[in-house]
Amino acid sequence: MNKDLYELVSEAKSKPHNLEPVIFLFQPKILKSLFQTKQQEREDLTQELVILIIKIINRYDVDKTPGFFEFQTKYHKKK
């Protein structure tokens, strides 16, 4: 069963060893962005991006993520 990003992040917040699937999910984007950097800097930048992903996951509050209708209401109020 494939889990979505929300489920993976929720699991990673409760059990840090579950961070690996989230990082794996972002791996293609990380690798693609590395083509814009010098070859000798790619490994260091990869590590920095993974650390940044971990920090963001730890700061992210899963409980405050709005549902679709909540988001829709807030969006229409801003207009």
pLDDT 10s digits, 6-50: 888 888 888 888 899 999 999 999 999 898 899 999 999 999 999
Q: Which domain holds residue 11?
A: 5-78
Range 40-68 average pLDDT: 89
Angstrom CA distances, 25 to 28, 36, 45, stand at: 7, 20, 17
pTM higher than the cut 0.75: no
Give the number of domains in the chain. 1
* Beta carbons of 49 and 27 less than 8 angstroms apart: no
Residue 78 has pLDDT above 80, yes or no: no
